[in-house]
Structure 1
Amino acid sequence: MARGLKKHLKRLNAPKHWMLDKLGGAFAPKPSSGPHKERECLPLILILRNKLKYALTYREVIAILMQRHVMVDGKVRTDKTHPSGFMDVDEEGKFKLSRSAVSNFGRRAFHGHPIRYPDCLIEANDTIENTGRVGVIKNREKPKGSFESIHIQDATGHEFATCMVNVFTIGKGMKPWVSLPKGKGY
């Protein structure tokens, strides 16, 4: 009988987007419970050691974290397996992408923070991002008993459709308020 959560994660069962070596050891760092799902996050140890190359070993990552040099969303993190996700920012970031909500009440965004409208010039869902694709909303439709779908046109002129839950506002009209990758995400 199992008693509680699994505390180990084999390297071969780790998510493929972590891009771990098959022969780099038997285990991978299991993300601790937190704001992101296990399959949609990266533990801090993988970011510092494998992606940013700030440390060579597991012990060096722990030393960096215990010196309180790492901030995620404005909070110091010392947990080596803290799950950092798609919309998390490091200590240099001043803002975070959020889903715009029309109401001023407690509707929550992707990362759990409530969205409010402090500026009357912001319109909901002007410019959006869909897993790296950036475009402008052309049409919104909500069939009865189904999810709201949105038709988006990207910078190359291609149109695609997605669910409303996959859409994040990043600007107004054709002008984004955040820096975009080269090629504007297409």
Structure 2
Amino acid sequence: MQQFIKIDGKVQIDITSPAGLRDVISIGKTRENFHLIYNTKGRFAVHRITPEKSKYKLCKMRKISVGTKGIPHLVTHDAHTIRYHDILIKVNNTIQVDLETGKITDFIKFDTSNLCIVTGGANLGRIGVITNRERYPGSFV
């Protein structure tokens, strides 16, 4: 078996193994690294990145809960579970995960005047700036 393709730092032998949004794809033979993102038409596109940027991955926070024995853990958009997170990290924030250790190195708050990419709906793949956040009574967000 030739093991040239890595997705998020893990060697993929099966040719049907899936890759999702913001996954880091590395090709060992050509020493190329890519991020899988949406283009402005809503289709997957590969974006070439440097070897320094291929060492981490950006993930969106989906859920924070308390596990067994009161240990807090969080779940990302690609279903990764990370234990012992920082208390300042909330749902919808973006975290930077080191691919070698699986630890959180940095996070960005979901707040106004931050850069964002739309991941659903008619504007899928568009990049913009968050201008305001609508909060409705009775919602938990």
Scaled to the shorter chain, the TM-score interval is: 0.3 to 0.5
Higher relative contact order structure (alpha carbons within 8 Å, sequence separation ≥ 6): 2
- State the structure with more CA Rg: 1
Higher relative strand content: 2
Higher relative helix content: 1
Q: TM-score, normalised by structure 2?
A: 0.45
